[in-house]
Structure 1
């Protein structure tokens, strides 16, 4: 019986084809926008979750200045510390000056802060990486965005001084989402270039220091000890977990999560009103059919299933188009740019698209609730009188 009702609902959809198409397109546009919007906080949550698995702390200068790289010496002696690695940031450009690339200069200590949950390059690539200072490790999203290929030289330059230009050879492509936009290189390349061009020695400079801890229970303790050790020094420290550091990077525009979810609610309410109006017209056109069905012995349940099935089919058809388009365009991820501290990232996954489709179906059923209730209360004789 259910299959027959679905077949009837599908045929009814074709009777007012223009209205059905317009309603389905409304769902498609709304679901596309909803999918893209909700993918932003979900993507950032995944990145923060992946960061938390590394059991790492990020040590920065309290006043957003530079840290001495030598701080790693005393940090390594602290209890529960497994490794310490200074890193230096270099904001470079490839071709478009409006599209900066944040690169990370590292040294051999970086291996001491990587854990089993991190991507582990094959041993032969690690050995190759150490043979040439120009070798770099780059995330898959950054490689695809700029059309880079493994083994082919890439020249980056300082946006404010073209004399400072470095040529790298990507030999490792990070396949993980967390490192999809990472660019790691041997910091000696930058140290030597700055010294040769400007005569400045930056070997002891670090933008931040990564510290790996033995367990999550000891992360707070180690963070407090690091900050206490360098209290009242020339460069006081501020230590946070890596996941908190990632979360703070997207707080530059305020509570982005609240903004996005508010926009999602506006989209859903708009679609609900449009769909409710369409459903009301659809039920009004079905009054005669409802009367005939009731006179032939169909129950209120059968009538409700038929009308709900038609609403659900419209919602499914439209939402599949919208979610499918969002998945096709954003399945490989895009950078959100400076607005989220260069770490903002959007990637639409199949589960995100599926959740959007399910939400759209619920909205379509909710929009049909009122008209269907009215149709269920129709008395066949009164319905025929209205038609005649």
Structure 2
């Protein structure tokens, strides 16, 4: 029996997403898609067709997508609309938890693209989520020009909050030597446009996925961000501190990248938690003290380029976070309680301050 087509397109995207490798691709202003796949025998059979995308203004030679793929039977193809080359298969990299990214390369050119999914015989009914689609010309990381401003006093003895090390999420080594960037003067907040994790292990797995996506999907030497912060308030090491990041195109020099795990933009609208915001504040206070960074140098990704990152809900917390960075840290539990009082209203609720008091 052949797999039947059961396509019900769900609009779950916004016009501009969080990508920083190139240009986001939208379909009728949608940046994300969900579609069902039914387990009705062998394939292959087309189970999703995006139709022509909205115009893609710049040349591209790479299509990159990422999302959630419960069953490995589903594959993807892309074509440049109007080109003679036809459909090109995407190379799919799927992780055991269902997270996936997929990429195809083509001759450089312009024009919209079309995406479709094929099922080779799903073992069960399921829904595939495509979180984002982007098209770009594959280039190595390049630092943008930047002029360091003056900085405040530095405290070389500033105490860093506990950070889960790279070894804990089984990071692979960078593919090339890092470029040293030892004296940052600014901090940029991002969101991952991915899973809103609910356990430490889920968060470690998600950071491992992001590294693989950045290295093999986008062609960077390592995960782009220096730190990830999950909804439980865990801080996870990304690219080593003191090394040039790749999180804010043309503005990476002197820039510490912090990513919140989740999607804080409508229509997904994940909510930053109080432990998460308290952890960002604690990490930010350390960076401010250690490097003499001015608190108002904490910005959102959208302050540097046209993007929805870090999402409306996360972006709205920046004024309170800047105020928290300007406050003198207090020791132990008192510091956590102060952060909770300042930030829990933005997170939509209260929390147990002991959860942020350290390991």
TM-score, scaled to structure 1: 0.24
Higher strand share: 2
Which structure has the bigger radius of gyration?
1
Higher relative contact order structure (alpha carbons within 8 Å, sequence separation ≥ 6): 1
TM-score by length of 2: 0.25
Which has the larger share of helix? Answer: 1
